[in-house]
Amino acid sequence: MSAKQLDQVAQATKTAFVFPGQGSQKVGMLAELAEQFASVEATFAEASKAVGFDLWHIAQSGEGLDQTEFTQPVLLTASIALWRVWLELGGVAPKYLAGHSLGEYSALVAAGSLSLGDAVKLVNLRGKLMQSAVPQGKGAMAAILGLDDAQVVALCQQVSSQAEGSVEAANYNAQGQVVIAGEKAAVEAVMALAKESSGKAIALPVSVPSHCSLMKPAAEQFAEALEQTAIELPSIPVIQNVGAEIATDVAQVRQALTAQLYESVQWTKTMQFIQDQGIQYVAECGPGNVLANLAKRLPNIEKAFPLDSKSRLEDALNAILVAEGKIA
């Protein structure tokens, strides 16, 4: 949907939309909604034409779904299909958008900053560059639970200084939940230290250590592709992963997308910003409910909704339209 068309949609004052990243994909996603809304498969057809392979087949069969170069365009397309259904049903335009990692691209498409075709080509390339930056089996990621941010950062610095390889905080997801990324031995060393400090550590099933300095070579190549892509200033403000800020010009959008590959995702700060702006309702526009569940824990968020089935969509639509004063 173009920025011009978005102007004609009723504006929300208390609602933000968040778009999920990798890890939210599942085989058969949106199959039920596709039976009820022709726009779902039409969106997948539009995106498939741009990248040159069948994204709907990957989503429904699971073939290649966990390879990052396919995961990324499939998830982005699923999020945009849901966004289009939301608008088709008379949903409001949120006051803010934000996306976790890959989800930032989905948010930019929803805001009319990137076209769907350009975005799927970009994230397909992003996946390829990320995979080739670190040889298979060399990198790792893990979730550290129950320690505060500063403790996790200190453990990463301790291990990195002992020449066990580089490891950094990659995603600040919520208070007491930080994902680390880096070289496998270094990640494992931090996991062991976290457990000694009464934290929990869970290895994540990923093939690429995202959002850490191992991704710098990929970011340099990716910046060239971004330069050649048409990008407009979003018509709905998009809170960026890097710095949890809103770009004021297109150069900042490009810069943030490049830096996002090797800098940490500031999700805790993003959700704090959303609350500080008086947002009370959050909808997760994509498969699953990881981000909705994180939002539910926050003191000022009254309700957080997933949207990935017809019943969930209808529940969210009714609650948000009532809260926004659009229906009684």
Residues 6+ apart with CB under 8 A from 186: 159, 160, 164, 165, 166, 167
User: Whole-angstrom Cα distance, residue 255 to residue 211?
Assistant: 15
Check residue 322 and give its pLDDT. Answer: 95
Full set of structural domains in the chain with CATH: 3-133+214-323 (3.40.366.10), 139-206 (3.30.70.250)
Mean pLDDT of 242-256: 96
User: Whole-angstrom Cα distance, residue 119 to residue 207?
Assistant: 22
Backbone dihedral angles phi then psi of residue 142, each to the nearest 5 degrees: -150, 150
* 3-class DSSP state of 79: helix
Residue 77 has pLDDT above 90, yes or no: yes
Measured CA to CA in angstroms, residue 187 lies from 120, 138, 176, 202, 216 at distances of 31, 11, 18, 11, 18
Geometric angle at alpha carbon 258, from 133 and 99, rounded to 5°: 105
Task: Please state, rounded to an integer, the average pLDDT across all residues of the chain.
Answer: 95
pTM: 0.96
Residues 6+ apart with CB under 8 A from 229: 114, 118, 122
Rounded to whole angstroms, the maximal C-alpha distance in the chain is 62
* Catalytic residue IDs: 101, 211
pLDDT tier for residue 296 given thresholds of 50, 70 and 90: very high
Please state, for a pLDDT cut of 90, what percent of the chain lies above it: 91
